[in-house]
Structure 1
Amino acid sequence: MYQRDGSLLTVNSAMKRDILDKVASAMYEYNAYPKTKQIEDVAQVLIKKHPCLREPGSTHGWYCWKFSLAFKMGNLRQKYRIAGCPELAINHKRSTGTSLGNKMKKAKRSELNFLPDFPDGKSSDCLELERLTLMEEMKKKKRDRKMIDSLMESTFALRRKEIVHGEPLVSEIKDRWPALFLKKQIGAEFMRLVSTDLQQSFFDGLDKYVPRLLQMYRVRTSSSSDLRSLLEPLDAQTSNQKRRAAALLGLPFYLKEDPSSFIRVCEADSSEEDATKEVDVGILIITEEGGSSRALLEREMVDVAVVLEEKIVKCDLGDVANAFATLMGLLYCLDIDYPKTLKYTFEFIQKVFMGIGSGNCSAKVNGLRNRLLQDNV
């Protein structure tokens, strides 16, 4: 009918319900909590693919479909919540009508597998036994790596339940899940959460933009002494490792954020307590001379470590770029929020460097990305 004379389809309630059920189910597979813009995009695609479903008298033809889909997603979440879906049950309301927490516990950084169900045929008791087996294996000098890989994979749902529901301290997680802090397992857990290779996505994106970022930083050195001191040691012979470090360390200054409580520099003989004091999330750079972060690239780095909750949780990382990549993995694995004082810096790393959730950037990050893609500064 539509192809012949442009007639619109008369959609009765049963037909509309079937359409909404199928579209909402497909949306749920990608995101249980889609944003308004995402729902709007789906409504537009629905009408574009099936123009006979356009709403008569509507300017765009999809306005009511958008609201219907929003309500349908709410009903679908309620249905799965009653059925016991962990990702939704965690956000249920008490009988008094108050929320169990101050914030919704849901995927916030494009996690595709934020809070999975337990594997078929396995209960929490069964998975706890596997966790204990994993603990015993980690105590050995010669560990069975294949066993650790297998047990970490099978206990993923139990681990996420503990981390997301209980919000334990990092030290408590490390006591119960020491294998999670192995470099290989950080990458594997990140892959389970986001379906993206941690190291490859980080370094591919970083190397793509390093030359352009350094060029843009130099333009701003006249008004930023921090960027100037960071870039002064760089010349044609500077290693790629230090160029990466300059691009990452200069990002907060370019975005006009304060990294003073994030980047810490100390000497090799400094105490951990003094070096990590008041650092909730940070990078600790250990140099031969110590000092401040100014002219940091002029000094020889002994080691770089990741700090969480005033404790070093991962050391022997070698260089700044590797430490940043490891930190990004840990923040996802441990469900830790980005530092508020560096929200744009971490958003840029996630969405521009790593390409995770890149379709929904803040205006500030999107503006920097656009400038990076221009031919001239």
Structure 2
Amino acid sequence: MENCVREILADQTADVHEEVISHLNKVGVGNIEEAQFLEQADLDGVLPPVRIRYLIDGFKKYANKSTTAVDADIGCPLSSSSLGDLTGTPLKFNNSKSDDASSCSDASESNALCWSGRSSCDSFWYYSFEVPWHAMSQTLVKCCMEKRNACHRDRRELVRLICDEIMKVTLYPKRKALDFIAHQVVQKYPDSFMDKTCGAIVGNGHETLTDQFDYRITNERKAKKKLRDGSNSMDKPSGKKRRGHDVKEYGCVNWSPTDPVTDEMEMNQQWLIDESRKAVRDKEKVESLMGSTYPLQRKNINGQAPISSLRKEWPLLFEAEYMFQHYSILTGTNEAKEFIIRKMNVSWPLLLKAFNESKSEKVKHIMSRFSLLSEWEDYKEYCSSVGMLDLLCAFFGEPTSKLFKHMDIVPGDPVPDVPNHPFLIVVGPVLYKSKEFVITAERSAIFSTDSFCVALAYLFVSFYVFNMEYPQELIATLEFIQRIFAEISDDGSRSSVMKKKNVHIKVKQLMTALRKSND
């Protein structure tokens, strides 16, 4: 039942999920069959009216689609298995498969499903998905049975094998499907797959696994696409520039869309400009049109239009929701904002542990200051936000003045003494108490928020959306954010001064230290 709520309301926060689940228990709803008898009045005050109707409709669709599958899987914890279960028959999430699901996993159709249609397979295929435990190494089997935290090598093997099985069904699994599978893995062996640091649980584990599934499948798609593009390029003139060598295209999968720009797109652009001026907007239509006009947005951006011009032509693009939507299409990342912020929150404790063991004098000085300040309530938030940028820049030997600055600004006026590239301004009279963060680009304020994590994520994606290189003074810091928080691990860098296949040596060092911190 809990998983069903999370999947139907996938765009809501975990707190909303818990509140809905708790309320359903109060009104006596314990399974999908009982949920079909809900009325809107039963959930008044818990969700907006439209969301309530959407949830009830989702319950009905789940029950009608595969009653047996849903009853068997949703909200039913998996029992502990014996060693024989791991090394013998693969774990089944379902006692039985529906005809549609079995047809999806038919090996004879898998190749066609991978490339032809994203909606070719049954949307509930993951209910009957089987984790290939029988193919796992003996070290992972032993680790699970002894309830020890799985090492990185074993986790990578698990992710690889599961993703290989998923891609036999589809190369475009929805995140809720990956999350469902990750839930089952962690639910079966929580001691081995929970996120832990120094024995303390810092995450539920399934979100990390979901990210790893998503990351691997995205990279596999890119690799297959490169192979196909490479074979097709044999017939092309050798003088034509190959995609991916331009720094501006680094990390992107849809930098220059092939869809033609139409008159309808230009009409929709004008509608979006008019809608941006309204206090109350048609959010669903705005989101849809911001997606459908993506080719026109890229045409304007790739045509080197200045930020001031883009703000007039695409004012909604500069709002966080649509900036991250554009970045998601550009890089092929699902739910980019949530993904990057979740990686930040999981990585902060590991970074602190790694920095505690650093031999850098600058890092030691900042860490000693942290140990004093963290005892004061007012400083705790600073130590886990702007202070982390201090540490990253100190470790990489790069100036913080090129990344962020503490100052007051006047809304609407040009911002003096800041770089041309995306830049973070911490606003307020006292640095450690600041609650406002402003992002600038081309020396103009383009976005403000009260969340440091949202501000840092916005700053990072701005480099990709606006075709900007990493500044030479911040190559390592931004590459680290790229590889750890955004998980863009393509060869090379978004900087023309780095060799195409190199990873910055200090970024490698910190990534190694992070892995050791997580063991």
- TM-score above 0.5: yes
Instruction: Flag the 1:302–1:222 CA change in 2: closer, same or farther, 3 A.
Output: same
Instruction: Flag the 1:263–1:273 CA change in 2: closer, same or farther, 3 A.
Output: same
Equivalent residue runs for 1:291-330 within 5 Å = 296-297=431-432, 300-315=433-448, 317-330=449-462
Equivalent residue runs for 1:203-352 within 5 Å = 203-220=341-358, 223-224=361-362, 227-228=366-367, 231=370, 232-235=372-375, 239=380, 242-267=383-408, 273=414, 275-289=416-430, 296-297=431-432, 300-315=433-448, 317-352=449-484
Q: Where does residue 151 of structure 1 map in the other structure?
A: 289
Instruction: Flag the 1:240–1:262 CA change in 2: closer, same or farther, 3 A.
Output: closer
Equivalent residue runs for 1:346-365 within 5 Å = 346-357=478-489, 361-365=503-507
- Partner letter of residue 198 of structure 1? A
Q: Where does residue 280 of structure 2 map in the other structure?
A: 142
User: Distance in 1 between the 2:390 and 2:478 partners?
Assistant: 12
For the 8 Å contact 1:268–1:302, the answer to whether it is kept is no
For the 8 Å contact 1:268–1:287, the answer to whether it is kept is no
User: Distance in 2 between the 1:218 and 1:325 partners?
Assistant: 25
Q: CA deviation at 1:106?
A: 5.9
Q: What secondary structure sits across from 2:249 in the alignment?
A: coil
Q: Which range moved further: 217-226 or 326-335?
A: 217-226
Q: Which range moved further: 129-138 or 176-185?
A: 129-138
- Partner letter of residue 215 of structure 1? K
Instruction: Flag the 1:274–1:362 CA change in 2: closer, same or farther, 3 A.
Output: closer
Structure 1 runs (4+) greater than 6 angstroms displaced = 268-271
Q: CA deviation at 1:354?
A: 2.2
User: Distance in 2 between the 1:106 and 1:222 partners?
Assistant: 33
Per the normalisation by structure 2, the TM-score is 0.48
Instruction: Flag the 1:269–1:138 CA change in 2: closer, same or farther, 3 A.
Output: closer
- Partner letter of residue 114 of structure 1? W
Bigger RCO (CA 8 Å, 6+ sep): 1
Unaligned runs of 5+ in 1: 1-25, 27-69, 83-90, 94-98, 290-295
Q: What secondary structure sits across from 2:424 in the alignment?
A: strand
User: Distance in 2 between the 1:302 and 1:257 partners?
Assistant: 25
Q: Percent identity?
A: 21
Aligned residue among 170, 178, 181 for 2:318:
181
Q: CA deviation at 1:182?
A: 1.3
Q: CA deviation at 1:252?
A: 1.3
Q: What secondary structure sits across from 1:313 in the alignment?
A: strand
Residue 373 (str. 1) matches residue 519 (str. 2): no
- Partner letter of residue 350 of structure 2? R
- Partner letter of residue 371 of structure 1? A
Q: What secondary structure sits across from 1:160 in the alignment?
A: helix
Per the normalisation by structure 1, the TM-score is 0.64
Instruction: Flag the 1:217–1:208 CA change in 2: closer, same or farther, 3 A.
Output: same
Instruction: Flag the 1:73–1:113 CA change in 2: closer, same or farther, 3 A.
Output: closer
User: Distance in 1 between the 2:294 and 2:437 partners?
Assistant: 28
Instruction: Flag the 1:355–1:170 CA change in 2: closer, same or farther, 3 A.
Output: same
For the 8 Å contact 1:198–1:329, the answer to whether it is kept is no
Q: CA deviation at 1:335?
A: 2.1
For the 8 Å contact 1:283–1:324, the answer to whether it is kept is yes
Instruction: Flag the 1:333–1:259 CA change in 2: closer, same or farther, 3 A.
Output: same
Residue 76 (str. 1) matches residue 232 (str. 2): yes
User: Distance in 1 between the 2:275 and 2:360 partners?
Assistant: 55
User: Distance in 2 between the 1:78 and 1:161 partners?
Assistant: 27
Count of aligned positions: 280
Q: What secondary structure sits across from 2:397 in the alignment?
A: coil
Q: CA deviation at 1:159?
A: 0.9
